[in-house]
Structure formats: structure tokens, C-alpha cells
A and B are shown apart, each in its own frame.
Chain A
Amino acid sequence: DVKVTQSSRYLVKRTGEKVFLECVQDMDHENMFWYRQDPGLGLRLIYFSYDVKMKEKGDIPEGYSVSREKKERFSLILESASTNQTSMYLCASSFRTGYEYYEQYFGPGTRLTVT
């Protein structure tokens, strides 16, 4: 069974703090993704990575950065958390080639509250 794990289910941080969200997958997937999910807006892509040390901006990268030093691990960093970054954050992974790349496996999500 593919497993995508996220470091925290719930997180409360203060405005201005630096926040790290960690994601680990155990299926040797090349692609990894970070989304945020907000009511009425669905899932919006923040960043994705198609290989170690490679990254691409998604639709809403402002205020976020990412790090992928190892194939199985993809970190999302909020440099200076703001209240409008309060959201559910979902990590996903998939294969890069073939018809399987659209089958993304998701972690359980981290609900981040910034106060």
C-alpha cells in the first residue's frame, strides 16, 4: 500500500513564525506536490517537484518555499506565516512517466491555523 505521511495533523502557529510542513512517501515516486484546500476553492497547487532538488511553482506559490533533498521527502516552508495561510495543506506523490502519473496519492493533510 502506498503511504504518504505528513508530519502533523493539526498545527497552530503565530503570525510571523517560520513553519515547516514535512511529507514523506514510501513508493519511490518521482513527483511530489503540495496543495492547499479551502472551502469553495478546492485544491490549489502551491509547488511541485519532479525530482530531487527540482521544483516548479504551482498556481499560488507566494509566501511559500519548498525543499526536496531526498526523493522520499518534500517539505513546505512558510517563511513568515500570515493569517491568510490558515488552511488545510495536502501533500501528494505520483510516478512521473506513463499513464500512472495522474494517479496522485495523498497524505491525510495538516490543518494549519495561524493566529
Chain B
Amino acid sequence: QKEVEQDPGPLSVPEGAIVSLNCTYSNSAFQYFMWYRQYSRKGPELLMYTYSSGNKEDGRFTAQVDKSSKYISLFIRDSQPSDSATYLCAMIIDTGRRALTFGSGTRLQVQP
């Protein structure tokens, strides 16, 4: 079983829709949680990060962490065609091993 599970999609939505992307994880030692966005033929870039359980908002994006359920989500409001990309969740255990564990990524297509 993978440490981090993520539905690969593809997820296709109309412009303006609310998008929900999710990851589950098995290791309760994970402490920091991130979402990366990867456009086609590019490297991933950090979109949002969070430490504690609860919500964190940044513009149209909201990251949600539920440590008790080992479940994280990224919500995109008023989705735009420019949001079409692969979204990867990532997490890290703060024990000195400076490496992230990534989900496999969800491909999102926002139709104009």
C-alpha cells in the first residue's frame, strides 16, 4: 500500500465549477502538507502548504487538513481553464529527512 493515495483522474469540469481534489495517507507522523501544481511539460510548483488541521485559504484556493482522518483536500473556487494542470499532494515528516512524499497526482481539465 502506498503511503499517499491520490485519485489520478482525469477530472473534467466546466469553467466556474468548484473543484475538490483529495489525498489520503497512512503514516500519522506526517506533519506538513503541501499541494503542488504541475503544468504540462513543466516541473511542479508549490501552490499551498499547511501544518495544522483545519483550513487555509489563498485567493480561490483552500487547503484543508484532517489529521484525525489522515485526509487532505484542495478546493478550487470559480475554476478557470488556466487551472488545468496536474495537482500533486505532498507531505513530510519533520525528522530531519528533508524529502517529500508525493501522491501520484490528479489531472484536472477545466473546460471553457
Contact = CB atoms under 8 A, between A and B. Distances in A.
Nearest to A94: B98
Interface stretch (A14-22, A40-48, A65-73, A78-86): A40-48
Contacts of B6: 42
A108 interface: yes
Interface in A80-115: 90, 92, 94, 96, 101-109
Instruction: Select the residue from B92, B97, B99 with max chain A CB neighbours within 10 A.
Output: B99
B72 interface: no
Contact of A48 (B4, B32, B99): B99
A105 B49 CA distance: 14
A92 B105 CA distance: 17
B60 interface: no
A50 interface: yes
Interface residues of B, number: 23
A106 B43 contact: yes
Interface string A27-49: 00001010100001111110010
Contact of B49 (A92, A103, A109): A103
A90 B41 CA distance: 11
Given A102-B34, A102-B49, A106-B43, 17 more contacts: A35-B102, A42-B4, A42-B102, A42-B105, A43-B100, A48-B98, A48-B99, A50-B98, A58-B99, A90-B43, A96-B98, A101-B98, A103-B46, A105-B45, A106-B44, A106-B45, A109-B43
Interface of B: 4, 6, 8, 32, 34, 41-46, 49, 88, 90, 92, 97-100, 102-105
